[in-house]
């Protein structure tokens, strides 16, 4: 059963990965770069400040740092536990895939990019939903694009992405709830 699932995962990866073309490679390398989202993060921090104020912003910064650390570390635990090679490290499919990433890495289950971007999307989208109703959909779309970029550049299978996004969504929701509690407890803010 597991072997069949992994075989399907490989076939779907090869299909999606081979949809790419050299025309778009540069764009996807920018999207997949973890630093390319910094302007979005700055914008989100500004929106938090604008809608919640400076004291709340300090809570947001601390919680976001904890959330990203949490998702990163749990991702690493899963990678070291399952030790599933990234597609770019599997010789059997090397001649059938496009690999354009800067580096491959050893293990890929599950995707840290997917979990971090999804946790950020859910966390920020829920906190800003009272003020910007459609922002959460934009952030979820952004997260999906970041996640797909990992398949495009050849470093993650679709299951790595789906599991990373699921874990990220659960984490983002949990840290959203924690933030709501902290805002109410320490600043008497409830929205």
pLDDT single digits (tens) 108-122: 999 999 999 999 999
- Report CA dihedral (36, 38, 43, 44) to the nearest 10 degrees: 110
Residue 109 tokens, joined:
């289950």
CATH of 2-187, one of 3.40.1360.10, 1.10.3720.10, 1.20.144.10, 3.40.50.460: 1.20.144.10
Measured CA to CA, the distance from residue 65 to residue 103 in angstroms comes to: 25
- C-alpha dihedral (173, 176, 182, 183), degrees to nearest 10: -150
Interval 159-171 mean pLDDT: 98
Q: Helix H segments across the chain?
A: 2-17, 22-32, 38-52, 54-82, 112-128, 135-152, 158-187
Rounded to an integer, the average pLDDT of 16-43 is 96
Long-range contacts from 10-17, C-beta under 8 angstroms, 24+ separation: 10/87, 10/93, 10/157, 12/157, 12/158, 13/87, 13/97, 13/151, 13/157, 13/158, 14/93, 14/96, 14/97, 16/148, 16/151, 16/152, 16/158, 17/87, 17/97, 17/98, 17/151, 17/152, 17/154
pTM to 2 decimal places: 0.94
Q: How confident is the model over 30-86, as pLDDT tens digits?
A: 999 989 999 999 999 999 999 999 999 999 999 999 999 999 999 999 999 999 999
């Amino acid at each position: 059963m597991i072997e069949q699932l992994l075989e399907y995962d490989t076939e779907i990866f090869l299909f999606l990965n081979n949809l790419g073309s050299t025309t778009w490679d540069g764009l996807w390398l920018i999207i997949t770069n973890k630093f390319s989202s910094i302007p979005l993060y700055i914008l989100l921090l500004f929106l938090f400040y604008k809608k919640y104020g400076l004291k709340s912003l300090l809570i947001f910064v601390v919680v976001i740092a904890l959330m990203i650390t949490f998702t990163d570390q749990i991702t690493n635990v899963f990678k070291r536990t399952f030790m599933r090679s990234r597609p770019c490290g599997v010789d059997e499919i090397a001649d059938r895939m496009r690999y354009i990433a800067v580096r491959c890495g050893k293990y890929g289950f599950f995707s840290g990019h997917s979990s971090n971007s999804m946790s950020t999307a859910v966390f920020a989208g829920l906190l800003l939903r009272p003020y910007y109703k459609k922002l959460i959909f934009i952030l979820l779309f952004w997260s999906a694009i970041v996640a797909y970029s990992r398949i495009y550049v050849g470093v993650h299978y679709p299951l790595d992405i789906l599991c990373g996004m699921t874990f990220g969504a659960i984490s983002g929701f949990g840290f959203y709830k924690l933030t709501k509690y902290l805002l109410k407890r320490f600043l008497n803010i409830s929205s």
